[in-house]
Structure 1
Amino acid sequence: MQNQIGAPKGFSLTDPRVRAWLFQIITIVVVVSLGWYLFHNTQTNLQHRGITSGFDFLERSAGFGIAQHLIDYTESDSYARVFVIGLLNTLLVTFIGVILATLLGFIIGVARLSPNWMISKLATVYVETFRNIPPLLQILFWYFAVFLTMPGPRGSHNLWNMFYVSNRGLNMPAALKADGMWPFLIAVVVAFVAIGVMVKWANKRFEDTGVPFHKFWAGLGLLVVIPALSVLVFGSPVHWEMPELRGFNFVGGWVMIPELLALTLALTVYTAAFIAEIVRSGIKSVSHGQTEAARSLGLRPGPTLRKVIIPQALRVIIPPLTSQYLNLAKNSSLAAGIGYPEMVSLFAGTVLNQTGQAIEVIAITMSVYLAISISISLLMNWYNKRIALIER
C-alpha cells in the first residue's frame, strides 16, 4: 500500500483552508457584483431623467447667505466654499464640545464618588437626567426655551463689560492679528521644545538619583516666560476689538450665534453625562489597595487621585471615551433642527435642494463624517497606546 502521509492535498471542500479561500472569493464576487449593479442602475436612471452627474456644480455660485462663517464669504462664492464653511462649523462645534464635555464629565464622574452625600446625589441626578433625554430635545430646549427668550441687544446681560448675552447670541472681544504674531508663535514653539528637553532631563535625573523634579511648575514657567519675552521685545501678537452697541445690535468683536450656543451646550451636557459614568467606572476599576498604599506613603486625597488613581483609570477610560467623542461629532448633525450652518444643514440641506446633485452631495457629506470619525479614532488609539502598560 502506497504511503499517503507526505502526499500533497488536492482541491477538497473538506480542507478548511480551501473552504476559507472559496468563501472569501465568493463574498468578493457577490460584493463587487452588487456594487456594479447599483452603480449601473443609478447611472441608467440618471440618464433617463436627464440628470447630469459629477462635481462641476461645486464651481457654481451659491447665491445665498450664511449666518456664521469662520472665513470670508459672500453670496457670489462657490458651493465649494460653502462646503468648507460647513466643514469648519462642524469642526468648531466638535472641538469645543469635546473639550467642555471632557472637563464637565470628569468633574461629575469624580463627584459621583465623593464621600459628601449632597455632592454625590446631585451628580447622580445630573447623570440620570441628561443622559435619558434625547439630544435633539435638549438642543431644542436650549435654543427655544433659553436663548430665544433672552432680551434683545439693548437689554443684554453684561459680563465684565466684555461679554454680552442676548437673543442675538454671545458677543465677545475678537483677537485680531498684530505685528508680533509670528515672533509670538515661534516663541511658543521654542517653549514647547524647551519643555520637552526639560522633561527628558528630569526623567533621566530621577532614574539616576531618585530625586524628583517639579516638572509641572518648571514647564509652566517656560510656557509663560518665553512667550512673555517675545511680547516684551516684539510687541503684542494680537489687538482686541471690543463689541459696541450701536442702534439695535452690536458692532465689532466676535459673536457666537444662538444656534451655536444651543448646540454646543446641549451636546456638552448630554455627552458629559456618559463621560461621567465612564470616569466613575474607570476609577472604581482601580484596586482599593492602590489608595491604601498611597495613604501609607502620606499622600493626601487630592494627590492620590491625580497621581495614583487617574493615571491607572485612564487605561480603562480611554476606549469608551473614544466612542463618546465619535457620538458627539456625529450628533452635531442634529443642528439641522435649529438651522445652525454645519455640514448636514448647509451642504446636505441647502446645497442639495438648490443643485439636485443628491448622490454627490450625500457622498461628500458621508465622507466628511467618516474622515472626522477615523481621525478621532486614530488620535485616541495613539494616546491609548502611549499610556498602556508595557510588560517586561
Structure 2
Amino acid sequence: MPTIDLSHVLHGQFLAWLLAGVKLSLLLTLIALLSSLPLATLVALARLSPVRVVNRLAWGYVETVRNVPLLAHLLFWYFAVPELLPEDFKAWLYAGHIEAIAAVSALVVYTTAYMAEDIRSGIRSVPHGQWLAARSLGMGWGALVRWVVLPQAVRAIVPPLISQTLNLWKNTSIASVIGTAELMTQAQRVESASFRGFETFLAATLVYLSVSLAITAAGTFYQWRYPVRAASR
C-alpha cells in the first residue's frame, strides 16, 4: 500500500503554487460576495416593486440566470462577451487577467440571482401590518423599505446568505475550466509536475473543507446568537 505524505507537495514551488491558488480562490469569493450583495438587494427590491415593468425585468433576470448552469455562464463570459467589446478594450482584457475577470463576472451574475431570491423571501417575512402601519404614517415605498422593512428582515436574510456564500466559495473551483489560476487549477499544475495526484488533491480538498467549515461555523454562530423568531402578524 503506497504511503501518503503531504510533504511531497507542501514544499518549495509546489507549496507556493497551492498558496497562490488559495489566495485567488478567496479573493474571487470576496470580490463576488461584496459585488453580489448590493446587486441582489436591488434585484430583490425590483422583484417587489409595484411598478410592473421593473418587477417583470427583475423576474426575467432571476429566472434566466438560475436556469442556466454556472459552467455555461463562465464559458459565455470568457468566450462570448469579449467578442462584443471594442477591439482596444478586448486587447486590453486578453493582455491582462481575462480569466479572473470572466470568472468574477460569471460568479457575480450567478450568485446575485440566488441571493436576490433569499433577500426577497426575507423581506416578505416581515408582517404585512408593518407595511400598512408605515404607509399610514405617510412613508413612501423607498423609505418604508429602507427604515422599516429591511432592518426587520435582516435576521431572516442572513442565514440563507451565509449558505449562498458557502456555495460561492465552492463554485470558484469551476473557474478552472477557463484557466483561472485558482486553487483547483494550481492543484492540477502541481499534480502534473509532481506526479503525486492523491496528495495534491487531498491537500486541495482539505483547504476547501476547512474554509467551508469556517463559513458553516459562522452561520451556526449567527443563528445561535440571533435566532429567527416567528413574527406576530
Same fold (TM over 0.5): yes
User: 1:374 matched to which residue of 2?
Assistant: 213
1:27-38 counterparts in 2 under 5 A? none
The corresponding residue for 1:265 is 105
Deviation at 1:296, TM superposition (A): 3.0
Deviations 1:122-179 (A, max 9, x none): 0010011001000001000000011266455xx23xxxxxxxxx34429xxxxxxxxx
CA 1:278–1:56 in 2, change beyond 3 Å: closer, same or farther?
closer
Of 88, 99, 116, the match for 2:34: 99
Give matches, 1:10-21, under 5 Å.
none
Q: How many residues align?
A: 230
Other-structure match for 1:313: 153
Partner of 1:123: 58
1:140 pairs with 52, 65, 75, which one?
75
| Structure 1 gaps, min length 5 | 1-43, 47-51, 62-77, 157-165, 171-248, 250-254
Aligned counterparts of 1:101 and 1:389: Cα–Cα separation in 2: 23
Q: Secondary structure at the match of 1:133?
A: coil
Q: Which has the larger radius of gyration?
A: 1
Q: What is the CA deviation profile of residues 201-227 of structure 1, one whole-angstrom value per residue up to 9, with x for unaligned ones?
A: xxxxxxxxxxxxxxxxxxxxxxxxxxx
Partner of 2:119: 279
1:276-333 CA-to-partner distances (Å, cap 9, x unmatched) read: 1111111112111001122233433223212221122222222222221111110110
RCO higher in structure (CA 8 A, sep ≥6): 2
**Which amino acid in the other structure matches residue 375 of structure 1?**
A
Counterpart CA distance in 2 for 1:168 and 1:382 is 44
The percent identity for this pair of structures is 38
Change (3 A) 1:140 1:83: same
Larger helix share, 1 or 2: 2
Mapped partners of 2:228, 2:201: distance in 1:
42
Correspondence for 1:169 = 93
Please give the root-mean-square deviation of Cα atoms over the aligned residues, in Å: 2.3
Partner of 2:195: 356
- What TM-score do the two structures reach when normalised by structure 1? 0.55
Q: TM-score scaled by structure 2? A: 0.89
1:81 corresponding residue in structure 2: 16
Gaps of 5+ in 2: none
